[in-house]
Amino acid sequence: MSMDKKYDLSVELCGVKLDNPVIPASGTFGFGREHNEFYDINVLGSISIKGTTREARFGNPTPRIAECRSGLINSVGLQNPGVDAVVARELPELRKIFHKPIVANISGFSIDEYAECCAKVDKEDQVAIIEVNVSCPNVHNGGMSFGTQPEMAAEVTRAVKAVTTKPVFIKLSPNVTDIVAIAKACEEAGADGICLINTLLGMRIDTKRRRPVIANKMGGFSGPAIFPVAVRMVYQVSHACSIPVMGCGGVESASDVIEMMMAGATAVQVGAANLKDPYACKRIIEDLPLEMERLGIERLSDIIGIVE
Amino acid sequence: MYKKGIYTIKQNHPLTSDVWRMVLAGDTQWITRPGQFVNIELEGLYLRRPISINDWDEETITIIYKVVGRGTEQMSHMQAGEQLDVLTGLGNGFDADVECQKPLLVGGGVGVPPLYRLAKELIARGRKVSVVLGFNTSKEVFYAEEFRALGVDVYVSTADGSLGTKGFVTDAIRENGIDFDYFYSCGPLPMLKALCDCTDVKGELSFEERMGCGFGACMGCSCKTLTGNKRICKEGPVMKREEIIW
């Protein structure tokens, strides 16, 4: 008997049906080409594409990567070819190798930039969900990250919702005092869903050279070390809000996916694991039926938020 | 193309006090050019460790690595028979088919290893190969004899003058009046820059950077070039001198 037939991995995210809940997180999977050389990426539920801004960006100086215990710090700085090039070149290339709807991850340094970029990707048939990264600094507000204050996060949400038709998920930064207040502000501003968590701000020091490992000094910490923080925040937000949550942070196994879903996630993103093990997402998807069998789960959607 | 595989250690032995040579048995079909690298998963470390390929045949890959941190330290304690999870066929590598007659290969320290296979490829194409190897001191010198055994002209420089030309690789090139019409180089950044400053001849240089994935997905090792942004792990690590922004 085929495991796949007995076990239903499908989930629905704001009307978007996914074959399974596993989505590579933005920035760890490019536009799919590199991982497609290892395996057919059509096994994935969806793909969250590399974070896109209005203008092309080279990003931060190198070194941009630092090894950590159970994870890594990255300070890539949103290197991307700009939204027009993404729409003109990257999306058509991705469509050739990936035949399912995608998640378009948008970043911005002003409210206008978010709105402009989201309006552009909203027109693309391929894009099923718009994921708005509010961890970027607001250049009009002293560089304060949009995602650190409920009102600023809500303002981005309203601006994006006003110019789009597709479901909008706000991707939240965990580097805040009260994640629930920010998530609720986004929900009240019209967000269709919440994605969390982005990376935790971290730092490593090269003790021999007496200077930071990362050229930009600090960067985003990700990997299995942050998984418990992610589960906690997914739990808090999904129980406080009535919109769906995409869980993200340190997921490495089918067991982690199920744990994240029990905490309240409807879909689960896999980030850093894609860098360490190029087959991570494929392996997790293949392991899910085995883990479901072990735990007596027939339909994955049945366990979403099952933990009180 | 690149691939992940499980490789069995056949040999692992020191060449100097901190430089080791490891021979791995497994699938080598994804390696196509000298100057490519492997990315090795190690127990207890999150990121893989990228190491250049010294040589390969149908069944084995040889790598030479310097013990500089926890990853390479751990590798130096591994025994024949142990297994490693390795990504192979990474990076663009050197172009051995470039039209030239007298290529010069310039390696500095642990930048020497990938030039060995390159020398073999160039010899097979009938080129007259010269090699300059730079080290700090005679105790650090490795692979000079292996290059000589290929029948190429080998020159050594040491910063302290304990072997060969005293000074840097550029001093050895001048002192020996080496005649070349193309160069290939791998080594520390100051050496690569000094080399380009001492000659107008065209050539290729291999660069290093801290990497996340090693196969182009994370943009962790990007650099700007005159021909656009490149990923050291994917469009590199080898660049043509005319595209480099110093």
> Which pair of structure tokens corresponds to residue B39?
């990315």
Percent helix, strand, coil in chain A, to 5, is 35, 20, 40
Band of residue A4 on the pLDDT scale cut at 50, 70, 90: low
Q: What is the pLDDT of residue B9?
A: 98
Indicate yes or no: CB of B222 within 8 angstroms of CB of A27: no
**Catalytic site includes residue A136:** yes
Measured in degrees and rounded to the nearest 5, phi and psi for residue B207 equal: -110, 160
DSSP assignment of A172-199? --S-SS-HHHHHHHHHHTT-SEEEE--P
Contact list, A105 vs chain B (CB under 8 Å): none
Contact list, B222 vs chain A (CB under 8 Å): 58-59, 62, 64, 76, 79
Each residue's pLDDT tens digit, A159-198? 999 999 999 999 999 999 999 999 999 999 999 999 999 9
In angstroms, the CA B91 to CA B213 distance is 12
Contact list, B218 vs chain A (CB under 8 Å): 27-28, 30, 65, 74, 76, 275
Question: Minimal Cα–Cα distance from A221 to chain B, Å?
Answer: 12
pLDDT of A1 over the 70 cut: no
- Mean of pLDDT values over A237-263: 98
In angstroms, the CA B168 to CA A211 distance is 28
Question: Minimal Cα–Cα distance from A68 to chain B, Å?
Answer: 7
Contact list, B42 vs chain A (CB under 8 Å): none
Residue of A136, A241, A248, A281 with catalytic role:
A136
Which member of A50, A79, A279 has the closest CB to residue B222? A79
pLDDT in 10s for each residue of chain B, 246 residues: 788 999 999 999 999 999 999 999 999 999 999 999 999 999 999 999 999 999 999 999 999 999 999 999 999 999 999 999 999 999 999 999 999 999 999 999 999 999 999 999 999 999 999 999 999 999 999 999 999 999 999 999 999 999 999 999 999 999 999 999 999 999 999 999 999 999 999 999 999 999 999 999 999 999 999 999 999 999 999 999 999 999
Exposure of A100 in the CB half-sphere (CA atoms within 13 A): 21
Contact A255, A297 (CB under 8 A): no
Which of A218, A222, A190, A221 lies closest to A205, judged by CA? A218
Indicate yes or no: CB of B45 within 8 angstroms of CB of A62: no
Which of A297, A301, A268, A299 lies closest to A284, judged by CA? A268
Model-level pTM greater than 0.90? yes
Indicate yes or no: CB of B219 within 8 angstroms of CB of A68: no
Exposure of B49 in the CB half-sphere (CA atoms within 13 A): 20
> Which pair of structure tokens corresponds to residue A85?
């090039």
User: Residue A125 pairs with which residues in a beta bridge?
Assistant: none
Q: Which residues of A91-108 are buried (b: 16+ CB within 10 A; e: fewer)?
A: beebeeebebbbbbbbbb
> Which pair of structure tokens corresponds to residue B114?
């990938």
In angstroms, the CA A7 to CA A301 distance is 11
Q: What is the pLDDT of residue A137?
A: 80
pLDDT of A5 over the 80 cut: no
Mean of the per-residue pLDDT values of chain A = 96
In angstroms, the CA A133 to CA A193 distance is 13
